[in-house]
């Protein structure tokens, strides 16, 4: 059985997909079979084949398995809004059972795979369901992407506190420069290193071309 990792972040738009794709690229370079899931996505665009999400397609491009799009992105919604609102407007209910089953199937086919969450750590998926419940059900170690920008320490510390409170393991964290104007970035990273007792898996600077290829070279420690 392959090892999966749940990739979450300190907020929306802080580089989860970039980091997840970079991890897939590095593992692929080691000769491993890799796969991915972006189970829930909003902000999808209509295509002749159905709704498609750019993040899910980026992950799919890094997979060694020829996965059909639906296995990567099960729940796709067009409006760029919170997924539980988008699901309600579409008359759909996000259910965990099919996502868990697809994760198990992926585990049997891969050496390494990622499951990328939507938004931050505790995004509602339904009236009584959040991404925390999804992560619990999948029971994968969690990789936290910390978007380096003003306010990130509070978001990062609260995220990891919740992960540990849920009984899940933090497999590592990645510091990604989400705002090139963010000051004292080295001090921010050092603060989290002291608090968590571990160095980041990588520290990604601001990239003018934020591709997985350019990000992967900054991942110095692979889980």
**Tens digit of pLDDT for each residue in 20-49?**
999 999 999 999 999 999 999 999 999 999
Share of the chain above pLDDT 70, in %: 100
| Structure confidence by residue, pLDDT tens digits, 104-161 | 999 899 999 999 999 999 999 999 999 999 999 999 999 999 999 999 999 999 999 9
- Which residue, 29, 9, 46, is CA-closest to 131? 9
Q: In whole angstroms, what is the distance from residue 66 CA to residue 217 CA?
A: 25
- The reply to whether 16 belongs to the active site is no
Residue identified by tokens 């799009």 is: 69
| Six token digits for residue 176 | 């990604």
Residue identified by tokens 């910390």 is: 146
Q: In whole angstroms, what is the distance from residue 192 CA to residue 10 CA?
A: 13
Q: State the total domains in the chain.
A: 1
CATH number at residue 83: 3.40.50.300
Mean pLDDT estimate for the chain: 96
Contact 38, 76 (CB under 8 A): no
| Six token digits for residue 167 | 């009984």
Residue 103 has pLDDT above 80, yes or no: yes
Residue 183 has pLDDT above 80, yes or no: yes
Domain annotation covers residue 51: yes
Residue 190: which domain range? Answer: 4-216
Q: In whole angstroms, what is the distance from residue 28 CA to residue 46 CA?
A: 30
pLDDT of residue 16: 98
Contact 120, 14 (CB under 8 A): no
| Six token digits for residue 180 | 């090139």
Domain annotation covers residue 221: no
Instruction: Please state, as a whole number, how many other Cβ atoms lie within 10 Å of the Cβ of residue 20.
Output: 31
Residue 1 has pLDDT above 80, yes or no: no
Catalytic entry in 38, 155, 203, 218: 38
Domain annotation covers residue 103: yes
Domain annotation covers residue 223: no
pTM of the model: 0.96
Domain annotation covers residue 102: yes
Domain annotation covers residue 222: no
Domain annotation covers residue 128: yes
């Amino acid at each position: 059985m392959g090892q999966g990792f749940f990739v979450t972040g300190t907020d929306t738009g802080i580089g989860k997909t970039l980091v997840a794709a970079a991890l897939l690229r590095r593992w692929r370079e080691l000769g491993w079979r890799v796969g991915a899931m972006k189970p829930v996505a909003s902000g999808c665009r209509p295509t002749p084949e159905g709704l498609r999400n750019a993040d899910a397609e980026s992950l799919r491009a890094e997979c060694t398995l020829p996965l059909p799009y639906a296995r990567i992105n099960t729940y796709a919604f067009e409006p760029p809004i919170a997924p539980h609102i988008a699901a309600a407007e579409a008359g759909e209910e996000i259910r965990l059972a099919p996502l868990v089953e697809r994760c198990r199937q992926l585990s049997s086919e891969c050496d390494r795979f990622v499951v990328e969450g939507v938004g931050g750590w505790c995004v509602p998926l339904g009236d009584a369901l959040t991404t925390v419940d999804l992560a619990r059900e999948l029971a994968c170690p969690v990789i936290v992407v910390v978007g380096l920008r003003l306010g990130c320490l509070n978001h990062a510390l609260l995220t990891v506190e919740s992960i540990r409170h849920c009984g899940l393991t933090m497999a590592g964290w990645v510091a990604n420069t989400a705002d090139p104007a963010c000051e004292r970035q080295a001090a921010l990273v050092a603060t989290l290193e002291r608090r968590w007792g571990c160095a980041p898996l990588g520290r990604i600077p601001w990239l003018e071309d934020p591709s997985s290829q350019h990000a992967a070279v900054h991942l110095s420690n692979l889980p």
